[in-house]
């Protein structure tokens, strides 16, 4: 009987310790979930925009993409943001990106209503209209950062590589042709079937677009020189959700 009692006490002690450990683990897990639930996004204001530097704006986008990739997006009351921004908007950044349905700026950077300007066009290039929009975003509305965002597996870039002819799209793709021509090598296969060539063109297209913004907008070029705004290129990976800044 003594042996049975001793074994029973050992069993109960071990079971009790296991239950305590499990409870502690559950408590920590619940605390982590609660902390994430409590991480509510702020709505941009005139004061928060004024306090944002180009460097901080860039970090905000990097942090937002990291949250997106990890599945830990901030909690947002979108209707509250609608009401808060009804009388005015104070975005901290402006993005030029592709119309691709897989690359929504607000989602991949975990941003809400009133946080960023988004100019989207097939192939993420710029023309006078988009440059004018960027001048409004920065010189008039106070955004502190411009990002030209390309993405992997870009259909517009593939179309430019293959000299696709299709209605008005033909002229759209002509804006990407300088990037195609600027990529050296790949003589054996300079078509959309060569994934490495397509990505090289996508990278070059982003770099050329950043360069064109500086060249074609004295306003934005001067603001960038004075460090009033930042101007960066980036690439979104549709396979991983990650954004890499150039």
In whole angstroms, what is the distance from residue 184 CA to residue 116 CA? 35
Angle between helices 218-225 and 195-216 (to 10 degrees): 90
As a whole-number percent, the residues of the chain with pLDDT over 70 amount to 84
Is 244 in contact with 202 (CB distance < 8 Å)? Answer: no
pTM of the model as a whole: 0.84
* pLDDT score recorded for residue 39: 67
Burial (CB count within 10 angstroms: exposed 0-12, middle 13-18, buried 19+), residue 196: exposed
Confidence class of residue 42 from pLDDT cuts 50, 70 and 90?
A: confident
For residue range 78-124, list pLDDT tens digits in order.
Answer: 999 999 999 999 999 999 999 999 999 999 999 999 999 999 999 99
* pLDDT score recorded for residue 34: 46
* pLDDT score recorded for residue 6: 52
Is 111 in contact with 105 (CB distance < 8 Å)? Answer: yes
Q: Does residue 24 have a pLDDT over 70? A: no
* pLDDT score recorded for residue 93: 98
Confidence class of residue 10 from pLDDT cuts 50, 70 and 90?
A: low
**Exposure letters 205-217 (e unless 16+ CB within 10 A, then b):** bbbbbbebbeeeb
What are the start-end ranges of the H helices in the chain? 2-38, 46-50, 54-70, 78-85, 105-108, 128-135, 155-161, 169-174, 177-182, 195-216, 218-225
* pLDDT score recorded for residue 30: 44
* pLDDT score recorded for residue 17: 53
In whole angstroms, what is the distance from residue 179 CA to residue 161 CA? 9
In whole angstroms, what is the distance from residue 211 CA to residue 146 CA? 12
* pLDDT score recorded for residue 116: 98
For residue range 180-237, list pLDDT tens digits in order.
Answer: 999 999 999 999 999 999 999 999 999 999 999 999 999 999 999 999 999 999 999 9
């Amino acid at each position: 009987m003594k042996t049975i009692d001793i074994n029973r006490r050992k069993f109960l002690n071990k079971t009790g310790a296991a239950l305590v450990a499990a409870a502690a683990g559950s408590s920590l897990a619940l605390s982590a979930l609660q902390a994430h639930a409590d991480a509510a996004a702020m709505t941009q204001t005139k004061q928060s925009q004024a306090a944002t530097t180009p460097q901080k704006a860039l970090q905000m986008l990097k942090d937002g993409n990291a949250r997106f990739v990890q599945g830990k997006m901030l909690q947002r009351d979108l209707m509250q943001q609608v009401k808060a921004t009804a009388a005015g908007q104070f975005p901290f950044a402006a993005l030029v990106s592709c119309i691709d349905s897989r690359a929504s700026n607000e989602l991949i950077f975990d941003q809400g209503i009133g946080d960023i300007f988004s100019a989207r066009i097939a192939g993420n290039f710029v023309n006078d209209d988009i440059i004018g929009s960027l001048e409004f975003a920065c010189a008039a509305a106070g955004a502190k950062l411009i990002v030209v965002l390309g993405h992997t597996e870009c259909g517009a870039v593939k179309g430019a590589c293959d000299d696709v002819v299709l209605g008005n799209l033909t002229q759209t793709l002509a804006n990407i042709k300088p990037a195609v021509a600027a990529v050296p090598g790949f003589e054996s296969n300079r078509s959309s079937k060569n994934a490495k060539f397509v990505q090289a063109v996508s990278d070059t297209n982003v770099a050329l677009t950043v360069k064109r913004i500086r060249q074609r907008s004295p306003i934005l070029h001067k603001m960038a020189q004075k460090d009033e705004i930042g101007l960066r290129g980036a690439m979104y990976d549709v396979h991983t959700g990650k954004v890499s800044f150039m």
